[in-house]
Structure 1
Amino acid sequence: MNGPAEQTFHWAAALASGLAAAGVRRLVASPGSRSTPLTLAALRHPEIGVRMVVDERSAAFFALGLAKASGEPVALAATSGSAIANWLPAVVEADMARVPLILLSSDRPPELQDCGANQTMDQAGLFSTHVRKFFQLPPAEAETGWLANFAARMVAASRGPLPGPVHINVPLREPLVPSASIAVDETAGAPIPLTLPTHLQPTGETLNRISGIIGKGRGAIVCGSEALSDAARRAILDLARRLDVPVFADVLSGLRFGTQEPEILAHPDQVARSAPTPDWILRFGGTPVSKAVSTWMEKAHTKPQIVVSETPRLADPAGTASHVVTADVALVCAGLDAPAGPPEWRADIVALDSEAMRAADAVCDGDRVFEGALMRRLVRAVPPSTAIFLGNSLAVRAADWLAGRSASKLRVYGNRGVSGIDGNLSTAFGISAISENCVAVVGDLAFLHDLGALALGRDLPLAILLLDNGGGGIFDHLAQADLPEFETGWLTPQSLDHVAAARAFGLAAQDVDGLDEAMAAVNAALDRPGTTVIRATIGREKSLARFKTFFAAAAAPVTQGQTR
């Protein structure tokens, strides 16, 4: 090969070495010609593990799952044109969910822009405000020493202060293929500034002010749909004990798993439907999945509501926050000093939760399959430390409503940044590549929407619990269900044979009839090296009736000091 091809390779290799030196250990690539130098440089770098994923949309969501599970930035590489446009849904999710991704889009060089060249479009700023930074690299140059420092700055931008994706557009000239024996030079060139982990310390004035608010009357802690760190979970539980207040914890917060403490409500959605308005609310971790909890907070709009976040992005769609604090959650909780609230307050809320638990046990009794009973059994049946990915839209809500609490410490994930059903399986596969045990719970439409992701399942261990309720079952719970066009426009039942489709990808697949069989199938799947699809067929009308029975158990609100 001639000199230009080798110069281009060394350019791409310097970028890869810079990313690796800054802590990037994983790159997901899709096959393409223009991206050859980037892919080859990563494949030959000893510190970067590369996964090839044919479908760029699936690749981006797979990288999202890797980054969620590892907590570290993951790089993406693809060829030019519509290939990288397929990243957009995952980029938007990464933006809103604050997940670090490094987007390496291959591009044609300047002389091929705006002249009708094949597979060429304007890629500058393609992802708009959904990336933390965009940088247009020049075509390959002989001088590469500055690329390592540049890569470190881009990785740092993906980590914070508001984590998320960054986009590097890389124009590459032909020839693209260097000599077969060419190697990556791992020397970093210019000094690389490594971004070390930091924790935002709240000031004493801030802590004193919050302590003064939460030291008065009946309070509550609300934890939304963002996964909390182990340190944050411990600190929140300790604070709840000291203040003697209940914690309304979203299923995705992780707080409900690994504890049986009564302060952590098992059924916050159900409790919020009848609980009285508190005197103050301390909020962590984004917007809850539960509409009932959000409505309950809206009713308390005249009361102090302190929102604590570790990033500058505010989660307050109803505009009810009275105070906003950007600081480390664990440090805030540990630094608060306030007296406990009236003991009858927590007792009343815990009594509501106990009634909700009895109602949940009753509606999930027996071996009949429906979404809520499957979720309630699943969190108790899988091994400790299992990762559970909850798909949108009904799966995550069924878990939030009826999974309850479990003594087993589980890691729970979801794509609630923009709450789409696209890429759910691909994200779960990314999580499974990091986790020892992983279960994905998705509906039939989410399964169909990401069918191509099953190609990842030949060597990745994942148990896919498929809730087949004949279409968009979530709409049974919404006002659209009353429209005469409901089935055509919203339910949209499909004729796909999910089991046959999974087998066509070479995966194990089976139907289950009953909760016992479903749980046995999930645990058996966790012992296999590849992916297993487990389809549970659910009757929509009976399922809806059982959900309504559970919701009806929330009776009239209680008053302070009175248990119903």
Structure 2
Amino acid sequence: MSEAADVTFRWAAALIGGLASAGVTRAVISPGSRSTPLTLAALRHPAIACRMVLDERVAAFHALGLAKAEQKPALLIATSGSAIANWLPAVVEADMARVPLILLSADRPPELQDCGANQTMDQIGLFSSHARAFHPLPPAEAETGWLTPFTARVVTESLAPLAGPVHINVPLREPLVPSADIGIPQTATPPQVLAPTQEPSSTALEALASVIAQGRGAIVCGTEDLGAEGRAAVLDLAGRLQVPVFADALSGLRFDPRAGAAVLAHPDQVSRSADAADWILRLGGTPISRALSDWLKKANGRPQIVVGSSPRIADPEGTATHVLTADAATLCRSLGGPPAPAHWLKTFQVADKAAAIAAATASADDTPFEGTVLRRLARALPSDTPLVMANSLPVRALDWLAGRPSSGIRLFGSRGVSGIDGTMSAAFGIASALGPTVAVAGDLAFQHDLGALALGSDLPLVILVLDNGGGAIFDHLPQTVLPEFEEGWLTPSTLDIVAAARSFGIEAETVRSNDAAVSAVLAALQKPAATVIRLPIDRAASIARFRAFFAAR
């Protein structure tokens, strides 16, 4: 091996070591030749746990799940060319969902650019505005001292002021394989980065207090996880002000054991006929519910306080009158005001009880139905079990019919751009970080991410597939009236889900009732590897039951 290859490896090892010193502990790597020094450095670093994933698209979503579960940046490594282009869907989701990722792409050196060299393309700024920062590095050199403070800045950029992906492009010259006995160089101590404070100013608190004093209010919590402290602070504030809490299922508030009757069990249903509030405090992003969005629009012109933990504020309705960047827990603990009249909260609770009766009626029998199986699953899972919900119909069915089980489970979803891609890849990342995990996906989301099943041999993920014959979410949208509906939107799949899972060496079965599905999930949680459980659902019967539920108010 040449001295040049050893220089390149030491340089790559310093780069990886700097990231490790700054707090990176996970790397998801796809095999390739040009990325050899980076891969080898990560594999040899004692503080970084590496997982090799063949498919770069799966790898990126897997890293997304890891970073989301651990709330710190995960590292992605891949070779040059179209390999890293497969990261784009996950990078977009990480951008919009504010998930920290470090994208480490190998590249050809300058002399091989724009000359027809194999596996070479323009990688400069590949992820455009979806990356918080882009760093084109020079080819490897003997001097590595600057890499430690550089990597500390990179990790900081991925976390604040707006968490998200950071892209480092690394041109590497051949030879790429170092001497067999070369070790990992010692990394200098990086500068300590202190977390920014997000305490609201006294002026802001005074302004918000004057809003809250105006009368009958409400708190709306979107799809973002507010954390245990944030949820506790919201519940305490709602109790002091005696106002209802409209909490999206993914916020976790309805599953918090501390949640009381002020947290509406069926906020979507209640919002369809609720009176407009005099003021609204909005936390944790945008809710899934269209009906709740319409209720916010109905209150246009009345004070609506939109609070975000980052400068990217969620106000798609355009109804915010006050905007504040602050930590939700800190803000809620600092707010106060006179309680609303007793009848105000009672009115919402009466409507919520009626919705709960309608939900129980819609879920009464054991005929396979998305709403029933999710309602029962949410009550049956052990406390702290991570539950990953695919987009489209599964997450909405949970929001509509799960109610307020207060079971203590942990909710995850990909609501950055709300795509169905990468659901299982991300769920495997969450399972790798947190242990036995359940993912619920439709048949199309399952098919869209089949490559993720290659991760299932040693990760404890239970995948419940709600097989309703295609894109059943469109049954709830205007496209259903089109004569081309089945061909252009429903897109029913011919995939044999059980056979597909078994082809990856994963245990799989079909069950025929909601209770059987829940029992199978609970049993599979005890296994060390992945399991797929398919529940066939009659699409026409499903839409009829949803419509009956919505009509019962």
TM-score in terms of structure 2 length: 0.99
> What is the CA-CA distance between 1:197 and the residue it aligns to?
3.0
Deviations 1:33-69 (A, max 9, x none): 0011001000000000101000000000000000000
Q: Which residue of 1 aligns with 2:344?
A: 345
Q: Which residue of 2 aligns with 1:403?
A: 402
Taking the aligned partners of 2:49 and 2:182, their CA distance within structure 1 comes to 18
Taking the aligned partners of 1:48 and 1:353, their CA distance within structure 2 comes to 48
Q: Which residue of 2 aligns with 1:451?
A: 450
Q: Secondary structure at the match of 2:400?
A: helix
1:187-206 maps to which residues of 2 (within 5 A)? Answer: 187-188=187-188, 191-206=189-204
Instruction: Please tell me whether the aligned partners of residues 373 and 515 of structure 2 are also in contact (alpha carbons under 8 angstroms).
Output: no
> What is the CA-CA distance between 1:535 and the residue it aligns to?
0.2
Q: Which residue of 2 aligns with 1:471?
A: 470
Q: Which residue of 2 aligns with 1:140?
A: 140
Q: Which residue of 2 aligns with 1:99?
A: 99
Give 2:130's aligned amino acid.
H
1:145-544 maps to which residues of 2 (within 5 A)? Answer: 145-188=145-188, 191-259=189-257, 260-544=259-543
Taking the aligned partners of 1:198 and 1:230, their CA distance within structure 2 comes to 20
> What is the CA-CA distance between 1:410 and the residue it aligns to?
1.1
Taking the aligned partners of 1:34 and 1:195, their CA distance within structure 2 comes to 32
Q: Which residue of 2 aligns with 1:57?
A: 57
Give 2:369's aligned amino acid.
F
Instruction: Please tell me whether the aligned partners of residues 215 and 341 of structure 1 are also in contact (alpha carbons under 8 angstroms).
Output: no
> What is the CA-CA distance between 1:32 and the residue it aligns to?
0.3
Give 2:256's aligned amino acid.
G
Give 2:513's aligned amino acid.
G
Q: Secondary structure at the match of 2:324?
A: strand
Give 2:79's aligned amino acid.
T
Deviations 1:396-430 (A, max 9, x none): 10011111111211110000000011111101100
Q: Secondary structure at the match of 1:490?
A: helix
> What is the CA-CA distance between 1:208 and the residue it aligns to?
1.2
> What is the CA-CA distance between 1:313 and the residue it aligns to?
0.3
Taking the aligned partners of 2:201 and 2:417, their CA distance within structure 1 comes to 33
Instruction: Please tell me whether the aligned partners of residues 392 and 420 of structure 1 are also in contact (alpha carbons under 8 angstroms).
Output: yes
> What is the CA-CA distance between 1:183 and the residue it aligns to?
1.4
Taking the aligned partners of 1:365 and 1:302, their CA distance within structure 2 comes to 41
> What is the CA-CA distance between 1:198 and the residue it aligns to?
3.6
1:58-73 maps to which residues of 2 (within 5 A)? Answer: 58-73=58-73
TM-score in terms of structure 1 length: 0.97
Q: Which residue of 2 aligns with 1:3?
A: 3
Q: Are 1:77 and 2:80 counterparts?
A: no
> What is the CA-CA distance between 1:485 and the residue it aligns to?
0.3
> What is the CA-CA distance between 1:553 and the residue it aligns to?
1.5
Deviations 1:229-265 (A, max 9, x none): 1111000000000000000000111111123400111
Moved more, 387-396 or 250-259: 250-259
Taking the aligned partners of 2:302 and 2:62, their CA distance within structure 1 comes to 42
Instruction: Please tell me whether the aligned partners of residues 238 and 262 of structure 2 are also in contact (alpha carbons under 8 angstroms).
Output: yes
Q: Which residue of 2 aligns with 1:22?
A: 22
Instruction: Please tell me whether the aligned partners of residues 21 and 187 of structure 2 are also in contact (alpha carbons under 8 angstroms).
Output: no
Deviations 1:200-245 (A, max 9, x none): 1101111111011012211100000111111110000000000000
Moved more, 213-222 or 237-246: 213-222
Q: Are 1:550 and 2:534 counterparts?
A: no
The gaps in structure 1 that reach 5 residues or longer are 555-564
Taking the aligned partners of 1:199 and 1:237, their CA distance within structure 2 comes to 23
Taking the aligned partners of 2:163 and 2:500, their CA distance within structure 1 comes to 37
Taking the aligned partners of 1:454 and 1:181, their CA distance within structure 2 comes to 36
Instruction: Please tell me whether the aligned partners of residues 124 and 136 of structure 2 are also in contact (alpha carbons under 8 angstroms).
Output: yes
> What is the CA-CA distance between 1:269 and the residue it aligns to?
0.4
> What is the CA-CA distance between 1:193 and the residue it aligns to?
1.6
Instruction: Please tell me whether the aligned partners of residues 216 and 341 of structure 1 are also in contact (alpha carbons under 8 angstroms).
Output: no
Give 2:151's aligned amino acid.
A
The gaps in structure 2 that reach 5 residues or longer are none
Q: Secondary structure at the match of 1:24?
A: coil
Q: Secondary structure at the match of 2:276?
A: coil
> What is the CA-CA distance between 1:321 and the residue it aligns to?
0.4
Taking the aligned partners of 1:181 and 1:552, their CA distance within structure 2 comes to 72
Deviations 1:273-309 (A, max 9, x none): 1111111100001111111101100111111000011
> What is the CA-CA distance between 1:437 and the residue it aligns to?
2.3
Deviations 1:503-557 (A, max 9, x none): 0000000001112211110011100010000000000000000000111122xxx
Give 2:8's aligned amino acid.
T
Taking the aligned partners of 2:115 and 2:379, their CA distance within structure 1 comes to 60
Give 1:484's aligned amino acid.
P
Taking the aligned partners of 2:276 and 2:336, their CA distance within structure 1 comes to 23
Taking the aligned partners of 1:358 and 1:199, their CA distance within structure 2 comes to 44
Give 2:221's aligned amino acid.
C
Give 1:60's aligned amino acid.
A
Give 1:89's aligned amino acid.
P
Instruction: Please tell me whether the aligned partners of residues 63 and 430 of structure 1 are also in contact (alpha carbons under 8 angstroms).
Output: yes
Query: Where does structure 1 differ by over 4 angstroms across 4 or more consecutive aligned residues?
Result: none
Give 2:197's aligned amino acid.
H
Taking the aligned partners of 1:86 and 1:465, their CA distance within structure 2 comes to 26
Instruction: Please tell me whether the aligned partners of residues 34 and 108 of structure 1 are also in contact (alpha carbons under 8 angstroms).
Output: yes
Taking the aligned partners of 1:110 and 1:198, their CA distance within structure 2 comes to 38
- Indicate the percent of aligned positions where both proteins have the same amino acid: 63
Taking the aligned partners of 1:468 and 1:448, their CA distance within structure 2 comes to 11
**Would you say how many aligned residue pairs link Structure 1 and Structure 2?**
552
Give 1:433's aligned amino acid.
S
Moved more, 520-529 or 173-182: 173-182
Taking the aligned partners of 1:405 and 1:208, their CA distance within structure 2 comes to 33
Taking the aligned partners of 2:181 and 2:230, their CA distance within structure 1 comes to 49
Moved more, 398-407 or 491-500: 398-407
Taking the aligned partners of 1:535 and 1:10, their CA distance within structure 2 comes to 49
Instruction: Please tell me whether the aligned partners of residues 148 and 187 of structure 2 are also in contact (alpha carbons under 8 angstroms).
Output: no
> What is the CA-CA distance between 1:436 and the residue it aligns to?
2.5
Q: Which residue of 2 aligns with 1:560?
A: none
Taking the aligned partners of 1:194 and 1:379, their CA distance within structure 2 comes to 41
Report the aligned-residue RMSD: 0.8
Taking the aligned partners of 2:196 and 2:367, their CA distance within structure 1 comes to 49
Q: Secondary structure at the match of 2:138?
A: coil
Q: Secondary structure at the match of 1:369?
A: coil
Q: Secondary structure at the match of 2:368?
A: coil
Deviations 1:320-367 (A, max 9, x none): 000000111111111112110111010000111111111000100021
